[in-house]
Chains A and B, each alone.
Chain A
Amino acid sequence: MAKQTIREKLDGINEYEREPVPKDKVKGFKSFVGMVAGEHIAGTEFVIGPMFVAYGVSAVDLVWGLLIGNILAVLSWTFVCAPIATKTRTTIFYQLEKISGFKLVTFYNVVNGLLFSFVAASMIAVSATAVGIPFNIEMPGLEDILPTGPGWIITVLIIGSVITVVSMFGYDQVSKFANIFAPWMPLIFLGGAIAVLPKLGVTHFSEFWPVAKEKIWTGVPMAGQIKFTMWHVIAFAWLCNGGMHLGLSDTTIYRYAKKPVYGLASAAGMFIGHGMAWLASGILCAAAFGDTTPGPIAYGSMGIAGAICVVAAGWTTANPTMYRAGLAIQAVLPALKRWKITLIIGIVVTLLACFPGVVTKLMSFIAFYALLAVPVGAVVFADVYFIPKLGLRQNYAELSGTSFSWIVAVTWALSFAIAKALDIYFQIDGLEFFLAIPGWFASVAIYMTLNYFFQNKHLKIA
């Protein structure tokens, strides 16, 4: 058989973007376990774990918060995302296009693209904290928003350039790279935490809990930081991936599942990934006297292996994120080739990564992303399950031939506005981390109400 060109190979790939996945293409449970376990140990874990220390979570609150929050996340994947994915067998993007119209879903894609760009910038900065170690670059601290010096900027520019070039060539090579690091990275997190416990005065596992309460998760926030309680941890652990489960972007994955119960595979990501990695990186932070910078704390516990882990974790998150951002933006600029768009995004993202605020404000940003994405998932959820019960029509934009559903647009905008209004009204520190939940309920209620009163019940279908 003749060797295929790259274009032929790409053209030969069918990802069923605009049709349901056929029954003979569904996958077994083990496929999902491996995939999600690897996906949820990422560069972000090096940031989030230390931030729980910085925000003064107590040890008891952290353990209960992670347990409950991660369980809620798994239940969201299992009872919200996976059932819709296996029922429709389509991506949220295609489903949303049928509900809201092409123009609105394009806008949604662009918003996602911009949000992905922020995450990519954050991960470039994370990698830079490790690359800069041998050059004694001044690392940004918890309070730094602006670049800390020319050394930091040069390091970020070099890493961002490399990641951008790799993204331009497509991320097939990076996914192979990520597969190789997937079994090794969790061992670095775990090993690093175990290795520094003696520095904290733990020489037997029975001594861990008292030290955890006194020296690691003390309940006292660092200067200038808000105080996190168990409720904040529950909300963050549950909703940090809100865009994926309640926001339904993981229908892209679970549409290949044989049964909805495969959503339980997310437990591998939540407990091995988030749970273990956040606890471990928090221990690294405490052993480094409260330093929250990923590169130095990993290097300090596992040497060069730790530094490599930070670079790899940041890179393997930044690349697919930048690739997705490129695809999303290309939807509005179809005349431009994807590699050119990726180049432009890469330049913007790399410049953004020079500002350490993209790392120190990552958790707030993740909360904001959930608030934007979850109401959209709620619209799809309501359209699939509740709209028929009201005697109304599903996929109304497809049926009516509209490219922009004002009902979906108003639902999205209004649910976001209601959630932000709650934040402004109550003025509670950290309330931003909870807002996706009222946003979800508001979105369902508004969507159903607007459809009940304004959907054309006499619409004739050709």
Chain B
Amino acid sequence: MRIALIILSFTGLTLTILPAFLHFSGVIEFERHIEITTIGTILYLSTAPFWMNKRKKKAKAEV
């Protein structure tokens, strides 16, 4: 489950930055860039909290 969340988070980060380059290259329109970036942001922000800080908490608990 954790691996899946990490993959989804990194997918979200990719979708945050990739559309800008695709729009710059003329592959997609500006509005499409906004849509995909929004999806990427939602994907990242909805998955990262479930694994990011928990890793640090686990490391502290093991000390």
Contacts and interface: CB of A to CB of B under 8 A. Distances in A.
Given A180-B45, A194-B21, A304-B41, A203 B26 contact: yes
A194 B53 CA distance: 30
A180 B24 contact: no
Contacts of B48: 180, 184
A195 B26 contact: no
Interface residues of B, number: 24
B34 interface: yes
Given A180-B45, A197-B24, A191 B17 contact: yes
B23 A198 contact: yes
A304 B38 contact: yes
B54 to A, nearest CB: 10
A191 B38 contact: no
B16 A187 contact: yes
Contacts of B56: 179
Nearest to A202: B24
Interface size class of A (residues with CB under 8 A): 20 to 34
Contact of A302 (B24, B34, B52): B34
Interface string A189-200: 011101101100
Interface string A152-196: 000000000000000000000000100110011001101110110
Nearest to B47: A180
B42 to A, nearest CB: 9
Given A179-B52, A304-B41, A184 B34 contact: no
A184 B38 contact: no
Contacts of A203: 24, 26
B37 A302 contact: yes
Nearest to A173: B53
Contacts of A180: 45, 48-49, 52-53
A195 B52 contact: no
A303 interface: yes
Contacts of B38: 303-305
B41 A195 contact: no
Contacts of A367: none
A308 interface: yes
Nearest to B48: A180
Contacts of B41: 184, 304-305, 308
Interface string A296-309: 00000011110010
Contacts of A183: 13
Nearest to B35: A303
Interface string A418-448: 0000000000000000000000000000000
Interface of B: 13, 16-17, 19-21, 23-24, 26, 30, 33-35, 37-38, 40-41, 44-45, 48-49, 52-53, 56
5 contacts: A176-B49, A183-B13, A187-B13, A305-B38, A308-B41
